[in-house]
């Protein structure tokens, strides 16, 4: 599938209009329902195929953010052979009590994987949490950048955002 065909398919599958409150608290009239493309195995695979060339060479582990980044990180891991970890918004208080589920991340170069980025707030928070655990984080990867300041906010946190698509490209 070409990049243009993929853009059309994502738009047709997941673009909604109405009133939506985003994680950042901002209200939007346009929304990409990421679960519509993340739960379609063919579409998820195509997204991962097109994201794979954007993975920085120094990446040791793909760090999928809860919840939307997990399926993308899993598919990318399957395609490229890099291990994945799954990053919770906060460490659970039972069992292993881990923030990042999977292998040891200390000293490893993690690539944050997210589905849709608006302000970049969750990536920034998770980046700091992962760095506090000894991981190195300098890049994030997403399917869609809503072009709402996320890339700029992440740059201030020392994270470069790599987006498969910007919202303006999908519209």
Domain boundaries, the chain: 3-170
Give the H/E segment covering residue 169.
helix 167-170
Instruction: Give the pairing of strands 136-145 and 160-166.
Output: parallel
Q: 125-161, pLDDT tens digit by residue?
A: 999 999 999 999 999 999 999 999 999 999 999 999 9
**Global confidence as pTM:** 0.94
CATH architecture of 3-170: 3-Layer(aba) Sandwich (3.40)
pLDDT tens for residues 95-131? 888 999 999 999 999 999 999 999 999 999 999 999 9
Q: How is residue 51 written in tokens?
A: 């994201």
Q: Three-class SS of residue 141?
A: strand
Q: Give the per-residue SS3 of 39-90.
A: CCHHHHHHHHHHHHHHCCCCCCEEEEECCCHHHHHHHHHHHHCCCEEEECCC
Q: What is the mean pLDDT of the chain?
A: 95
What is the distance between the alpha carbons of residues 49 and 149, in angstroms, rounded to a whole number?
A: 26
């Amino acid at each position: 599938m070409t990049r243009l065909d993929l853009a059309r398919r994502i738009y047709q599958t997941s673009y909604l209009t109405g009133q939506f409150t985003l994680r950042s608290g901002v209200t939007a009239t346009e929304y990409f329902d990421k679960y519509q493309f993340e739960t379609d195995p063919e579409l998820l695979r195509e997204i991962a195929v097109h994201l794979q060339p954007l993975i920085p060479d120094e990446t040791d582990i793909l760090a999928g953010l809860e919840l939307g980044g997990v399926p993308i990180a899993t598919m990318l891991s399957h395609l490229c052979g890099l291990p994945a970890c799954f990053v919770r918004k906060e460490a659970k208080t039972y069992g292993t009590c881990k923030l990042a589920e999977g292998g040891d991340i200390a000293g490893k170069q993690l690539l944050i994987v997210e589905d849709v980025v608006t302000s970049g707030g969750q990536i920034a928070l998770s980046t700091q949490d992962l760095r506090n655990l000894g991981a190195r984080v300098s890049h994030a990867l997403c399917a869609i950048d809503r072009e709402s300041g996320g890339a700029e906010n992440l740059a201030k946190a020392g994270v470069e955002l790599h987006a498969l698509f910007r919202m303006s490209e999908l519209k």
